[in-house]
Structure 1
Amino acid sequence: MSAQEAFKGLSSNEQAVLVDVRTRAEWSFVGLPDLRAIGKEPILSEWQSFPPSGPRPEFVADVSDLLAKKGLDQNAPIYFLCRSGARSQAAAIALTQAGYTQCFNISDGFEGPLDADGHRGTQSGWKASGLPWIQN
């Protein structure tokens, strides 16, 4: 789904949560979705660490634990976000396979694809859609 559709879902459902699966470096240097206006904050859990070496084996357990700490069960809507939609899709599939019933991938991620000049964040995704975000 699009970033705007995800933000609408996050805004309209108290149980909905955003899981940002990018790396710590991306959160620090590129920015984070800002959900304060809707009384939420994203769950931050790296799908893979930097440098990439495949998915972190503990990812599903970590996210499950963070969701449980928020009082959410396996039926809560979970929106997954990465840079451009690939890692978040894999993470959504992993949580679905673990029994979560409402996992959604934000298709263009936080920054979207590269534009003609080789830059991200200008065509689609969370930032280009004008959704709130902050720099750390």
Structure 2
Amino acid sequence: MTQSLSIKHASYNLMLYPLCHKRDELLMHIDCSFLVRSAPHDAPILCIMKRVVRWGFGSYAETLFKTGKESVMSHRAEILQRAHDRAVESGLSYSGAVTPEDAWELLQTLPGARLLDVRSSAELQLVGAVPNALCIEWKTWPGMLPNPHFLAQAEHQLDKEDAVLILCRTGVRSDEAARMLAAHGFSSVYNVLEGFEGERDSLGHRGQLTGWKARDLPWQQG
């Protein structure tokens, strides 16, 4: 038997062989590295756990979740360290900078993490938005004038101890917003690199090469 099975392959095999007399051996070889952090988007994982419990292997289920949780905590620490290293390298006045993928993972695994989208309401409606993100304009459209109430709105809707991940179109306005929040006592502020749309491609279009949309992360049309 393969020494380590991916979660998806494990779920496939568990569904194919629900009566296999070696299912306990199969379970003990599951690689749990993505167990917890991929659970919201990977229904087969839930199927694994239901079958594990149904078969009476409750202790295995506990071991799987414990191993998965430890892996998630370790990977989360790596993400935060990379973010801090970027802050040091770039002389940032806030906690750090994260890639869109790392931002999404922190939103799934870091207690209290919030995504703050600082794009204009027009961008949210016309380009797209991230589900459940807190939206406070840094600049308003038309004219892209600074929002004089940004700080007051952020202080009203966020806890200063929250991990705040800030998103804009390309990472510029979010950097400015991150600097302001950090300067006013927010202790854990991160800029989401590349932004929602990212850089332009050879045709001058955004959202194809880099950014939240191009990375195939959750978003919806406004």
TM-score, with structure 2 as normaliser: 0.55
Which position in structure 1 is the counterpart of 2:25? none
Cα RMSD after superposing both structures: 1.1
Aligned positions, number:
125
Note the alpha carbon deviations across 1:60-113, whole angstroms, 9 max, x for none.
Answer: 11011011xxxxx31210000011110011001110001001110111000001
Which position in structure 2 is the counterpart of 1:131? 217
Note the alpha carbon deviations across 1:34-65, whole angstroms, 9 max, x for none.
Answer: 3xxxxxx1111000101235421210110110
Structure 2 distance, partners of 1:50, 1:98, is 25
Structure 1 distance, partners of 2:127, 2:144, is 21
Q: Map 1:31-50 to 2 at 5 A.
A: 31-34=128-131, 41-50=132-141
Structure 2 distance, partners of 1:55, 1:94, is 13
SS at match of 2:193: coil
Task: Determine which structure has more spread, i.e. the larger CA radius of gyration.
Answer: 2
Structure 2 distance, partners of 1:133, 1:109, is 13
SS at match of 2:181: helix
TM-score, with structure 1 as normaliser: 0.88
Structure 1 unaligned blocks of 5 or more: 35-40, 68-72
Structure 2 unaligned blocks of 5 or more: 1-97
Q: Does residue 95 in structure 1 map to residue 181 in structure 2?
A: yes
Which position in structure 2 is the counterpart of 1:22? 119
Higher RCO (CA < 8 A, seq sep 6+): 1
Which position in structure 2 is the counterpart of 1:38? none
Structure 1 distance, partners of 2:161, 2:116, is 15
Letter in 1 for 2:136: S
